[in-house]
C-alpha cells in the first residue's frame, strides 16, 4: 500500500492514502481499498460528495466520464518545515462558499448588495474553519463583500498554524502607507488577504433587493426562471452567469494561478456563482454542466494543484468526524507538524 | 473630619429613609450626573439603579444627591484603572423631567425626535493584541475572543434603535459591528455602502423601496481608523524598546502630540476623527438618526474628547473597555453620557429614557 492511486469516477471520488488503511469515505458510502494492480470500478448514484441534503447535486453530468490517475505519492521537497518557501510539487487550493446572509434568510435576491452574515452564517464559517484547520494556507483571496471576508476571517480563527491573516489595502497611496508593517518576522507570520470585486457574486441587476414574489409579479415567472437558470441571459442591468464567469475566471488565471504555480497554498472565500465559474475552469466543465452545479454553503472544497493540473479532493471533514486523515502525504506531514507543535 | 467611609455610610442611611417618600413621586424622574458616576432614573422603573459598581437608591425630586465615588468609573473593565474624568473637575448637569417623545406610535424615525441614541463600540481582541504587537492601521482580524466580545456587545444594544452605522475601514471594526447587529431585535438589515467608483455604486444598487426601508446603511471611512502607529506597526514591545529605547516608546504612546516616526500623534488622530464626526455623523444625529459607531481605542477616545469636552490631559488617561458599548443621548445639541447598557440577563436599569423604554416595549410587542 505504499503506492496509492486516485481514481475519479462518475459521481464520486476515491481517496486513497498510502498509510491510512483500508477504509475510506466516498460520499455516503464506504469503500474498501484494493491493493495496487487492481482497478476499482464502483457505480455511484449521482448524488456527489457536495450534496448537503438540501439540493440535488450533480458534480458531473452522467454522460461524461472522467478518470484520472495519480501516480505514487511523491516525497515532498522540503520535509522539515511547515512553511512553503521552496516550490513544492503540490499545493492546496481551498474554495469556501459563504453561509447564510441576512437576505438569504428573508429570501431576497442579493447579488452584489453587501449584506452581512446571519448567526447561522457565522457558525457555518467557524465550522468550515474546523474542517480546514489542518490544511496549509499561505494566501487568501476574497470578494469585496463583507459576507465572504467575514467567512474567511472567522474560518481562520480555527486554523492551527496560527499565522495571522492581514488584509491588504491598495485603494490609494495613503492606504498603502498606513498599512505598512515594519517587522520582517511579523510579515513572515502573515497570510496576505487580497480582496477583489472580480470574485463578487454575480450581479443581479434589477432583481437586487426584490423577493421572489415581487420579481414574479414584476417580470413574470418564466423570465425570472430564465435569468436564474440560463448561462448567458442576464437580468436587466445585471450579469449573466457567462459574464460572471468571464471576469472571475480571468481573475483566477491572472492572479491566483501564478501564486499556485509558485508554491503558495491558497484559500478562496467567495460566492455561489463566482466559485462555480472557477470550478468550471478547474474541472473543465461545459456550460450545461455548470448550470446544474451547486456548491454547499460553508463546506470547503479542496483541490490539489500538481504539475499544472487541478485534482478535486472533495470536502475535508471536521476533526470530529470519521474520515480520511489527510489527502496527500505532504498534507499528512503538515498535520503531523501541527500536532508536534502542541507537545 | 469624617472619613470617606463614614460619609458614605451616612449617605446610604439617608437614602434609605428618603426612599419611602419617593415611592409616591415615581411619576417624575430626574437625571443627575455627578463626578465619576451617573445616576440613571426612570419614571417607571422603580427605585434602584446602577452607578458604577455601587447601587444607589433614588431620592425624590427636590433633593440633591451628592455621593462621593472612587475614581474608578463605569468604563473600567477591571483590567486597567480608568479615569473617566480627572478628580479636579467636577461636572454636574441636571436634566429636566423626561419629555414625551414626538411620534410615539411608530418605531421609525421619520419625524425628527427630540433625542437620538449614539452608541460607541470599541472592537475586541485582535490577533495582534493576542501576540502583543503594535497594530495601528494594519488590518488584522479578530480572535475568537474578539468575536465573542462583539456578540456580547450586540446583546447589550439589542434594544437600542440603530438607523445608521459608521465604521472604520478595518475589518476588526466592521466585523464587530456586523456581529453585534446579528443580535439586534429590530431585524433591520445592515447594508455596507460601496462608493469606491461608479461600478461599485451601480453594482450595489437595491431596486426595492421596501427593502431599502428595512436597511441600515453602513458607512466605512479610514478617518475612523485606529491611530496610525508608523514604524512601530508590527513590532512587539520588546523590539520597539530595543530599537527606539523604552522612554521614547513610552512618550509616543502616552503623549498627546508627539508622533512615532512616520506615524500619527493622538492629536493628529483626533483631528481627522473629530472632523469626520462633526462633518458627517453629527448632521445625521441632528436629523433624527440613531447612530452606532464601531471603531478603535484612539479614534473613539478622540470623539469622546469632543462629546465630553475633555482636555488633552484628560483624554490621555481615558481608556475605553473593549467590546462594551457606550451610550450617549443626543438632545438639543448636547451629548449626554448614559454609560454602558447592560445585557438583558443582567440586573440594571430597564431603559435610559422614556423614548427608549417605549422602543423596547414595541420590540417586545412585536414578539406577541
CA distance B303 to B65: 30
Question: How far is B71 from chain A, CA to nearest CA, in Å?
Answer: 36
Question: How far is A12 from chain B, CA to nearest CA, in Å?
Answer: 35
Give the strand pairing for B334-339 and B326-331: antiparallel
Of B362 and B31, which is predicted with more confidence? B362
Q: What does the pLDDT look like over A51-90, one tens digit per residue? A: 333 333 333 333 333 333 333 333 333 333 444 433 468 9
Of B84 and A153, which is predicted with more confidence? A153
> Does A206 contact B208 at a Cβ distance shorter than 8 Å?
no
Answer whether CATH 3.40.50.1240 is correct for domain B116-366: yes
pLDDT of residue A278: 97
pLDDT of residue B175: 98
Q: What is the mean pLDDT of residues B286-306?
A: 96
Q: Which residues of chain B are within 8 Å of residue A193 when distances are taken between CB atoms?
A: 139
Highest mean pLDDT among A101-115, A311-325, B349-363: A101-115
Q: What is the mean pLDDT of residues A248-267?
A: 97
pLDDT of residue B102: 35
Measured in residues, chain A has a length of: 343
Q: What does the pLDDT look like over A282-338, one tens digit per residue? A: 999 999 999 888 888 888 999 999 999 999 988 877 666 655 545 677 777 777 787
- By C-alpha distance, the chain B residue nearest A150 is B175
pLDDT of residue A322: 56
Which residues of A contribute to the annotated binding site for substrate? 97-104, 110-111, 147, 201-204, 212, 228-229, 272-273
ipTM score of complex: 0.73
Question: How far is B123 from chain A, CA to nearest CA, in Å?
Answer: 15
CB contact, 8 Å: B110 with chain A?
no
Which residues of A contribute to the annotated binding site? 97-104, 110-111, 147, 201-204, 212, 228-229, 272-273
Provide the chain B residues 85-104 that lie in CB contact (below 8 A) with chain A.
Answer: none
> Does A209 contact B212 at a Cβ distance shorter than 8 Å?
yes
CB contact, 8 Å: A120 with chain B?
no
Determine which one of A90, A124, A201, A239 is catalytic. Answer: A201
Is the pLDDT assigned to residue B364 strictly greater than 90? Answer: no
Is the pLDDT assigned to residue B70 strictly greater than 50? Answer: no
Q: A109 and A208 in contact (C-beta within 8 Å)?
A: yes
pLDDT of residue B58: 37
Architecture of the A81-342 domain: 3-Layer(aba) Sandwich (3.40)
Domain boundaries, chain B: 116-366
Q: Which residues of chain B are within 8 Å of residue A183 when distances are taken between CB atoms?
A: 133, 234-236, 239
Give the strand pairing for A139-142 and A266-270: parallel
Q: What does the pLDDT look like over B189-232, one tens digit per residue? A: 999 999 999 999 999 999 999 999 999 999 999 999 999 999 99
Q: What does the pLDDT look like over B123-164, one tens digit per residue? A: 999 999 989 999 999 999 999 999 999 999 999 999 999 999
CB contact, 8 Å: B150 with chain A?
no
**Phi, psi angles (nearest 5°) of residue A122:** -65, -45
Q: B112 and B287 in contact (C-beta within 8 Å)?
A: yes
Question: How far is B190 from chain A, CA to nearest CA, in Å?
Answer: 7
CA distance B164 to B218: 6
The rounded percent of chain A whose pLDDT value lies above 90 is 56
DSSP A253: I
> Does B233 contact A203 at a Cβ distance shorter than 8 Å?
no
Helix-then-strand count for chain B, H and E = 13, 12
Is the pLDDT assigned to residue A170 strictly greater than 80? Answer: yes
State the CB neighbour count (10 A cutoff) for residue B93.
Answer: 11
pLDDT of residue B7: 52
Cell of A39: 482497478
Determine which one of A98, A130, A159, A271 is catalytic. Answer: A98
Using alpha carbons only, what angle is made at residue B110 by residues B106 and B114, rounded to the nearest 5 degrees?
Answer: 85
Of B102 and B275, which is predicted with more confidence? B275
Kindly give, in sequence order, each residue whose CB lies less than 8 Å from that of residue B345, ignoring residues fewer than 6 positions away. B155
Residue of B123, B124, B138 to mutate, interface with A, max A Cβ within 10 Å:
B138
CB contact, 8 Å: B299 with chain A?
no
Of the ranges A106-110, A319-323, B99-103, B358-362, which one carries the lowest mean pLDDT score?
B99-103
Helix (H) or strand (E) holding A94: strand A90-97
Determine which one of B123, B155, B184, B296 is catalytic. Answer: B123
How high is the mean pLDDT of chain B? Answer: 76
Is the pLDDT assigned to residue A225 strictly greater than 60? Answer: yes
Q: Is A294 a catalytic residue?
A: no
B128 is in an annotated binding site: yes
pLDDT of residue B104: 36
**Phi, psi angles (nearest 5°) of residue B313:** -65, -40
Q: Where are the beta strands (DSSP E) in A265-332?
A: 266-270, 301-306, 309-314
Q: Which residues of chain A are within 8 Å of residue B127 when distances are taken between CB atoms?
A: 164-165
pLDDT of residue A14: 33
Burial class (CB in 10 A: 0-12, 13-18, 19+), B66: exposed
The strands making up A12-14's β-sheet, listed across from edge to edge, are A12-14, A6-9, A69-70
How far CA A204 is from CA of A30, A166, A197, A231, A296, in Å, comes to: 41, 30, 14, 13, 20
User: Among A113, A150, A211, whose Cβ lies nearest the Cβ of B204?
Assistant: A113
Q: What is the mean pLDDT of residues A181-199?
A: 96
The rounded percent of chain B whose pLDDT value lies above 70 is 66
Residue of A152, A209, A235 to mutate, interface with B, max B Cβ within 10 Å:
A209
Question: How far is B104 from chain A, CA to nearest CA, in Å?
Answer: 28
CB contact, 8 Å: A108 with chain B?
yes
Is the pLDDT assigned to residue B179 strictly greater than 50? Answer: yes
Residue of A99, A179, A215 to mutate, interface with B, max B Cβ within 10 Å:
A179
pLDDT of residue B50: 40
Is the pLDDT assigned to residue A50 strictly greater than 70? Answer: no
Of B123, B227, B224, whose CA–CA distance to B173 is shortest? B123
Q: B167 and B293 in contact (C-beta within 8 Å)?
A: yes
pLDDT of residue A63: 34
Residue of B189, B190, B199 to mutate, interface with A, max A Cβ within 10 Å:
B189
CB contact, 8 Å: B195 with chain A?
no
Question: How far is B139 from chain A, CA to nearest CA, in Å?
Answer: 5
CB contact, 8 Å: A178 with chain B?
yes
Of the ranges A3-12, B276-285, B301-310, which one carries the lowest mean pLDDT score?
A3-12
Q: What is the mean pLDDT of residues A186-213?
A: 96
C-alpha A111 chain-centroid distance: 19
Q: Is B226 a catalytic residue?
A: yes
Of the ranges A219-223, A232-236, A272-276, B38-42, which one carries the lowest mean pLDDT score?
B38-42
CA distance A113 to B321: 33
Amino acid at each position: 500500500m505504499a503506492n496509492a492511486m486516485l481514481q475519479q469516477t462518475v459521481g464520486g471520488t476515491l481517496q486513497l492514502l498510502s498509510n491510512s488503511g483500508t477504509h475510506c469515505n466516498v460520499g455516503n458510502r464506504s469503500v474498501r481499498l484494493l491493493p495496487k494492480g487492481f482497478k476499482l470500478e464502483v457505480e455511484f448514484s449521482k448524488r456527489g460528495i457536495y450534496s448537503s441534503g438540501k439540493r440535488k447535486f450533480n458534480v458531473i453530468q452522467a454522460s461524461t466520464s472522467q478518470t484520472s490517475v495519480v501516480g505514487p505519492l511523491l516525497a515532498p521537497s522540503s520535509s522539515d518545515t511547515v512553511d512553503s518557501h521552496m516550490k513544492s510539487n503540490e499545493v492546496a487550493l481551498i474554495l469556501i462558499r459563504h453561509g447564510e446572509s441576512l437576505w438569504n434568510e428573508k429570501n431576497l435576491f442579493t447579488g452584489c448588495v453587501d449584506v452581512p452574515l446571519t448567526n447561522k452564517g457565522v457558525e457555518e464559517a467557524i465550522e468550515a474553519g474546523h474542517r480546514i484547520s489542518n490544511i496549509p494556507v499561505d494566501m487568501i483571496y476574497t470578494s469585496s463583500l463583507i459576507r465572504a471576508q467575514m467567512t474567511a476571517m472567522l474560518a481562520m480563527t480555527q486554523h492551527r498554524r496560527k499565522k495571522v491573516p492581514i488584509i491588504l489595502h491598495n485603494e490609494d497611496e495613503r492606504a498603502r502607507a498606513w498599512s505598512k508593517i515594519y517587522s520582517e518576522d511579523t510579515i513572515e507570520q502573515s497570510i496576505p488577504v487580497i480582496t477583489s470585486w472580480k470574485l463578487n457574486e454575480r450581479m443581479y441587476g434589477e432583481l437586487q433587493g426584490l423577493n421572489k414574489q415581487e420579481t414574479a409579479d414584476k417580470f413574470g415567472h418564466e423570465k425570472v426562471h430564465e435569468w436564474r437558470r440560463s448561462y448567458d441571459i442576464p437580468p436587466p442591468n445585471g450579469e449573466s452567469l457567462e459574464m460572471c464567469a468571464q471576469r472571475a475566471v480571468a481573475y483566477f488565471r491572472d492572479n491566483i494561478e501564478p501564486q499556485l504555480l509558485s508554491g503558495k497554498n491558497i484559500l478562496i472565500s467567495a460566492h455561489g456563482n463566482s466559485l462555480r465559474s472557477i470550478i468550471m475552469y478547474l474541472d473543465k466543465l461545459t456550460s450545461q454542466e455548470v448550470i446544474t452545479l451547486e456548491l454547499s454553503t460553508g463546506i470547503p472544497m479542496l483541490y490539489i494543484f500538481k504539475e499544472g493540473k487541478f485534482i478535486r479532493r472533495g470536502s475535508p471533514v471536521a476533526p470530529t468526524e470519521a474520515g480520511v486523515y489527510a489527502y496527500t502525504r505532504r498534507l499528512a506531514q503538515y498535520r503531523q507538524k501541527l500536532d508536534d507543535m502542541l507537545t
